[in-house]
Every structure is written in structure tokens, then in C-alpha cells.
Amino acid sequence: MRLIAANITRVLIGFLALCAPAWAVDISVVALFPGKAMLIVDKGKPRTLSAGETYAGVTLLSSTSEEAVISVNGKQQRLHIGEGVYSALSVQSEHATVVLASDKNGHFVTSGSINGSSVRFLVDTGATMVSMSVDEARRAGVNYLAGERGYSQTANGVAPVYKVKLAQVTLGDITLRDIDGVVHENSALPNVLLGMSFLGKLEMRREGGSMTLTKRY
């Protein structure tokens, strides 16, 4: 009986280990200063870090009065005041999940990357594709001139655009490849619009001021 109980205990421990998320950190920025930032980690008390300091597994790499650059498990994130990010492996599905917090205007703005180049994303379910300016495309190494040329109606009239393939688009722990994108030639978009060519491959759930994105496979 003791041997059976011991075996059952080992099985339960192994099962719980498999179900536990590999990485789960909830981070938000409440104040920014040159070289310092006040962070809330996992809903704890606000903690002020200087550049180079680490707290609860979160390292502040740099900070200005406009944004903080942090690192968690070797992954970098750029956050502004009031923004937050949560990354984890979903316990139920074991699929990568990212939870975003809305800003004061109700928009979901967060950091990510295209082809390994850091960008600022604005989640836009009304955008058909991931959309960016020429400057952002160049920084990400996107050869937009080789893409399919077309035209788009904008507030300033008809503008040329280029349909392209983005080799890699990353948001938190979610990475998708060969994503349709569009580059606007005469547009100064302040952020890259994270459109449905990316979002459509995820499960999306919004609850109040948060949005949960889960990779389907």
C-alpha cells in the first residue's frame, strides 16, 4: 500500500509540473524618470528600479521620461506609463498566451517585433493586415518595393501601398511567420497596426480593460 501511495504521489507531482506555466509575469509601469522606473510586478507593491537593477525576475534595462525597457527571461519589452504586459503558457491549452492592458484611451498599445526589429503595436481589429509606414518597414528589413503595388484610400486621398510578406511577427511569447502586411508609402503611422492577418490566427478575448490573445497551434 505504501508503494502504491508513493507511486500515486509521484504521478500527481509530475502532472502538476506539466500543468504549471513555464513563465508567468504580470508587469505594469506606474511612473517613469530618466534612469529609473516604478513598476508593479505580479500585482505587488510599486517598486522603483534604477537601470540595471533586477526585481522579481524583471530587469530594468533603461528608462526615460517616456518609456521603460525591461527584460524578463531574456526577452525585452518597451512599456509606457499605464501600459502593462502579461505573458505565460496557458495551463489549459499549453499554448502561448499574452494578456494586454488598455491605455487611458481604451487602446491596446504594446511592444513587439517584426523580423527581430523592435516596434510599437496598436491592436486594430479593423485593419485587414499588419500595416506600417515606410520607415518602420525599412527598420524591419522589409523590402517593400518588391511587394505587390496597389492604392489605398486615406483621409488625405489615395496613397500608394505595397503588399508584403512579413517573415516573423512577435508579440510576447507568440510568434507567427509568413504574415501578410501592407506598407503605406505616404503615411507617418505612429505605431504599427496589428491587424487581422496576425490577430485572425489567434483566439481573442476581451474582458473590461484587458485583452487575452492565445496562439491556436
Give the pLDDT confidence score for residue 175 in this predicted structure: 93
71-126 pLDDT, tens digit each = 876 677 788 877 666 554 433 445 788 888 888 888 999 989 999 999 999 999 99
Span 60-81, mean pLDDT?
82
Distance CA 203, CA 180 (A): 18
Residue partners of 131: CB distance under 8 A and separation at least 6: 124, 181, 182, 183, 184, 189, 192, 193, 195
Residue with the larger pLDDT of the pair 22 and 126: 126
Distance CA 98, CA 61 (A): 21
The structural domains of the chain, ordered by start, are 24-82 (2.30.30.830), 84-217 (2.40.70.10)
126-175 pLDDT, tens digit each = 999 999 999 999 999 999 999 999 988 766 678 889 999 999 999 988 99
Helix (H, G, I), strand (E, B) or coil at 16: helix
Residue partners of 88: CB distance under 8 A and separation at least 6: 21, 22, 23, 24, 25, 97, 99, 173
DSSP H or E segment with residue 137: helix 134-139
DSSP assignment of 24-47 equals -EEEEEEEEETTEEEEEETT---E
Asked whether residue 186 carries a pLDDT value surpassing 60, the answer given is yes
